[in-house]
Amino acid sequence: MQIDKDPTGPRGFPARLRRARLDRGWSQRELARRIHTSYATIQNYEGEHGNPTMWNLVELAHVLECSLDELLGINYGAPKQ
Per-residue pLDDT of the chain (81 residues; tens, 9 = 90+): 444 555 555 568 899 999 999 999 999 999 999 999 999 999 999 988 888 999 999 999 999 999 998 888 887 765 555
Which CATH number characterizes residue 50's domain?
A: 1.10.260.40
- How far apart, in whole angstroms, are the C-alpha atoms of residue 4 and residue 18? 16
Q: Give the domain extent around 56.
A: 2-75
64 within some domain = yes
8 belongs to a structural domain? yes
pLDDT of residue 35: 96
Burial class (CB in 10 A: 0-12, 13-18, 19+), 17: buried
Question: How many structural domains are present in the chain?
Answer: 1
For residue 33, being part of any structural domain is answered with: yes
| 3, β-bridge pairs | 74
Give Cβ neighbours of residue 47 (< 8 Å, ≥ 6 apart): 14
Q: Is the pTM of this model over 0.85?
A: no
